[in-house]
Amino acid sequence: MEKEEKKKLNIIVLADDSDYGTSALRYGGILAAIFQASLTIVSDFSFSNISSKTNHKLNDEQLKLSQQFIDNQIEVIVVSDKYTPENIYVFADEVNTIMFVIGVQKKGKGSLFDLRSAKRFIKPSRLPVMTVGLKLPSSDIFRHVMLPLDIERQQKEKSLWAGYFSRFYHSQVHVLFSSYKDAFLRKKVKDNVDFTKKLYQNLEITYELHHLEDEIDNIDRFSLEFASTINATLSVIMMTHYYSLIDRLFGPKEDAMIANEQEIPILCINERDDLYVLCT
């Protein structure tokens, strides 16, 4: 019996002709190289099926970038079809996509996504979504990845995805976790850290533990402050699944992460039973 050929991985970038679209495209090219994936560029995306008069064609800089990726042996597919969230999720599954990349502006109309529309796109996705700002990737991008762990039980998905960067790119994963006065909360954090340690040791993932002495309410947000101390250029977070009253009044914790002032890319993962994971 012939061995079935392994299907190539794919990265989808949603890139309008703005500077945010160009930034997303640059990150997408690097991710495609890291994961040895093809790069699919979608330039006509909208939350509505209604046609608009907006010109969705890539600009000259983006076309040059696309050619540069091709010159570096990255397969690039530019699709001109119009996509809404519903049909792009289906399309992503069909072409073995592992991740979306989007450029997000906090407020305003200078990009395809602002904070509100980014969350609207991310929340239904079974694929991780990387959000980036205008800060362009450096030569050592993704060499240091932050994995902030808290008391929630869904931390294993974060651990897996942070670990992929180590397995594919030899990145160092920095595991951040806080101290808690309450014994029950301490135990929950310890369980998550122990799981991650065991996983990483089994998979031979390079990691470092950072035990923070203070009790930190939002370890995800703290990772942005911590990033400069370890030259980290990516943080991996779980999206809030169920909104509490506090979340509805003041916004969920990811609001401080997506389109952050430091312009650190954020890999956003949803809590769901059919979350995509790599078979490696």
pLDDT in tens, 230-254: 999 999 999 998 888 888 888 888 9
- Is the pTM higher than 0.75? yes
Return all residues near 122 (Cβ < 8 A) that are at least 6 apart: 129, 131, 239, 258, 268, 270
Measured CA angle at 126 (ends 162, 23), to 5 deg: 65
| Encoded tokens for 88 | 């792009």
Could you give the 3-state DSSP secondary structure of residue 152? coil
**Residue 97 pLDDT:** 97
147 confidence band (pLDDT: 50, 70, 90):
very high
Most confident of 6-15, 122-131, 212-221: 122-131
- Overall average pLDDT of the 58-83 stretch: 94
* Number of Cβ atoms within 10 Å of the Cβ of 254: 23
**Residue 257 pLDDT:** 95
Q: 48 pLDDT exceeds 90?
A: no
- Overall average pLDDT of the 192-199 stretch: 95
**Residue 56 pLDDT:** 66
Q: 1 pLDDT exceeds 60?
A: no
Burial 82-110 (b: 16+ CB within 10 A, else e): bbebeebbebbeeeebbbbbbbbbeeeee
12 confidence band (pLDDT: 50, 70, 90):
very high
Are 178 and 215 in contact by the 8 Å Cβ rule? The answer is yes
- Overall average pLDDT of the 22-39 stretch: 97
What distance in Å separates the CA atoms of residue 30 and residue 7, rounded to the nearest whole number? 20
Q: Phi and psi for 75 in degrees, rounded to 5?
A: -75, 120
Q: 180 pLDDT exceeds 50?
A: yes
Hunting for tokens 């990516």 — which residue is that? 234
Pairwise pLDDT comparison (106 vs 120), residue with the higher score: 120
Q: 5 pLDDT exceeds 70?
A: no
What distance in Å separates the CA atoms of residue 243 and residue 141, rounded to the nearest whole number? 33
Pick the closest to residue 150 from 192, 120, 182 (CA basis).
192
